[in-house]
Every structure is written in C-alpha cells, then in structure tokens.
Amino acid sequence: MGHKVRVSDTGEVFEVSRDETILDAALRTGVRLPHECTFGGCGTCRVRLQEGCVHYDEFPMALTPEEAEQGYALACQAHPDTDVVLTPANHGPVLAEPVHTVAEVHQVEPLTADISRLVLQLPEDLDCDYRPGQHMNILLPDGAERSFSMASAFPFGNELEFHVRHVPGGAFTQERLPALKAGDALDIEIPKGTFCYHAEDYRPMIFVATGTGFAPIRAMLESLLDDEDCPPVSLYWGMRTEADLYAREELESWLGRLYEFNFVPVLSRAGESWTGRTGHVQDALAQDFQDVSEYAFYLCGSPQMVTDTKRVLLGLGAEMDVIYSDSFTFHHGQNEKPVAA
C-alpha cells in the first residue's frame, strides 16, 4: 500500500507506491514538481515537508542532515513513510520553458591550462529569455546531454559565453571540445535550471564559488553592474593556484561598479609569492563572519564545497530559504555539468 502526497500550494494529490520516489510518482501522474538531475545531486527538487516523513535508500548529496532536520527533502530520492503534505522549496521568479535550437560556435580559447572559454552564437530569431545563473544542455548525437552554465548575463548580439573545465575522459570536453572551430553547429536546449538571482530577497549577498562554478555567478554579477538597487556583494572564489584565477583582473575592475563589492580569492595550492587567503572558501567565510542571518547566499561548485558551506552558514544563523546552490557534478563519459539547486 502506498501513501498520498498533497502539494499544498496547488492542492494536487497523488499516490506514491512502495517502490517509487515522490518525484517518480508525480511525473507518472502528471503533477509538475521542479526537478533536474533526478539522482540527488542538484537540489532542484527540494521540497519542504509540512506534514509527514520520508526515508532515503541512500542519503542524497545535495541535502545536508541539518536541512533534513528543518523539514526539507529531495523529491527525487525521498520515499514517503506516511501521507505527506509538501511545498516546493525553489521559489522565485517564473522561468521560461527551455527550447531546442541549433547554436553556432563563434570562438573557443583557453582561459587556463584546463579551462576553455566557449562562445556560442544563437539564431537571430531566437528569443532567449533566461535568467543569469541558468545553464544550457548540449545534445550529443548519441542522445546524451552535457550541461554548462552561461557565464554572461545576457546574450549580447545573441552570443553567450561558457567556461568549460576539461574533464579527463570526458565525452564532450576531451573528445569534442578540442576539435570545435568557428562555424560548427551544436544542438542545444536553453534555458535550464532554477539557479538564478533572486532580486525579491533584497539582502546583502554572499557568493561562494569553486572552479568554473564561478561562471553562473559571473553572469549574476554582470547583471548587477552599475545597478543602483544592487545590495552589498561579497564574492569568495576558490581555486588551486594563482594562475587559475582567470577572471581576477575583470573582477577587480568591478570594485566600483558593484555596491560595496568585496572580492576574496582563496587558493588551496598557493605558491610562495601568494599573499592572499589560502585553504578552503568555506573556512575563509567562517573566519570573516560571525552572524549571517541577514544575508542571501549563492553557492556554486563542487558538491563537497556546497555541502560544507551550507553547514557553515547554518551554524552562523543563515536562513535556509535564502541559500541558493548549484553543484557541479562530473561523471566521466556521462555528464560534465553544472548540475542545478
């Protein structure tokens, strides 16, 4: 015998059988719940349990025990133990439906030894209504998908920029990307994901990134340049070496264009000449703040960083509903993605 699930804000009710997750049952019955990766890695399907309880076959990596204690669950992995009343936790602006189109490669150039800048030209007649922070899917001939976050705020002249890390053995980044040249065509689906800027919060903001998790954050920050309504902004960007900070000069040039902008690069493998912060970004953040209850947060990068940073923030008094995250999960030969939350 299964359990009933009711979505509080729509009144929809569906039944979940014993071997189903909440998301599986919702999709089977035509109930729309936000979702993306479906394997517990992104957090897009995060819901808040108003009534009832759930269990997991394996605790999902995009959910912390602290979140679970506060009543949050991931619908794609959660099996109900009782009847459940839930509310989707990913609130915010209404996002456009993704469209399938063909983009033209405009430019591929190295940013670091293992990161490339990919610029795509979208069709002139495409109305690309995306929110800074979202990503696209590249559709490969074998039916597989590869997802990458937009690194530019808006498609200037219908051009979009992406920062792509080369994954050893990656089907796209190692096999196809090096051979791409101007004029080549890529099948894409755009826009995707729920990771985006939430102007409605209107709080001081702390952005935390590792690696190319900086890409969607760059898009958000670029959208706020010279904006008189921009709240105070802090950016913590973790990289291995100083040479990996490929956007350092650009970010430093934004000091007068973002309100009270505080840029903190943090290196995990710093050289002897480095005089800045070292270690992990979440540790640097914990050293700089004692109370973050009035802030909103945007986290993007490795799942471990996102999980650890959430724990730090909750310990410093952060409100869960204003912590937005996007975990970059890399699966050799399957997915070289920014997986969205």
Say whether pLDDT at 100 is over 90: yes
What the chain holds in terms of domains, given with CATH numbers, is: 3-88 (3.10.20.30), 99-192 (2.40.30.10), 199-340 (3.40.50.80)
Separate counts of helices (H) and strands (E) for the chain? 6, 20
Contact 250, 219 (CB under 8 A): no
**Secondary structure class of 186 (helix, strand, coil):** strand
How far is CA 244 from its chain centroid?
A: 20
Which of 249, 164, 315, 232 lies closest to 221 in space, CA to CA?
232
What DSSP assignment string belongs to 21-79? -HHHHHHHHT-----SSSSSSS-TTEEEEEE--EEESS--TTS-HHHHHTTEEETTTEE
User: Cβ(297)–Cβ(321) under 8 Å?
Assistant: no
* pTM of full prediction above 0.95: no
Query: Residue 341 — pLDDT band, cuts 50, 70, 90?
Result: very low
| Residue 181: Cβ within 10 Å count | 8
What is the rounded average pLDDT for all residues in the chain?
91
With a cut of 90, say whether residue 106 has pLDDT above it: yes
Q: Report the candidate in 292, 326, 267, 272 with the shortest Cα–Cα distance to residue 148.
A: 326
Pairing outcome for strands 72-74 and 84-88: unpaired
Residue range 175-226, pLDDT digits in tens: 899 999 999 999 999 999 889 999 999 999 999 999 999 999 999 999 999 9
Lowest-pLDDT range of 47-51, 92-96, 139-143, 209-213 = 92-96
What is the Cα–Cα distance from 274 to 5, expressed in whole angstroms? Answer: 54
Helix, strand, coil fractions of the chain, as percent rounded to 5:
20, 35, 45
The answer to whether residue 75 scores a pLDDT higher than 90 is: yes
Q: What is the average pLDDT across 75-81?
A: 95
Higher pLDDT, 330 or 299: 299
Confidence (pLDDT) at 338 = 44
pLDDT at residue 331 greater than cutoff 60: no
Residues 327/306, Cβ–Cβ less than 8 Å: yes
Average pLDDT for 88-103: 83
* Pick from 30, 124, 122, 20: nearest CA to 75: 20
Cβ neighbours around 206 below 10 Å, total: 25
What is the pLDDT averaged over residues 129-154?
91
In DSSP terms, which residues pair with 272 in a beta bridge? none
For the chain, percent of residues with pLDDT exceeding 70: 95
Cα dihedral angle (247, 253, 259, 264), rounded to 10 degrees? 50
Report helix, strand or coil for 216: helix
Reported confidence tier of residue 335, pLDDT bands at 50, 70, 90: very low
pLDDT band at residue 93 under the 50/70/90 scheme: confident
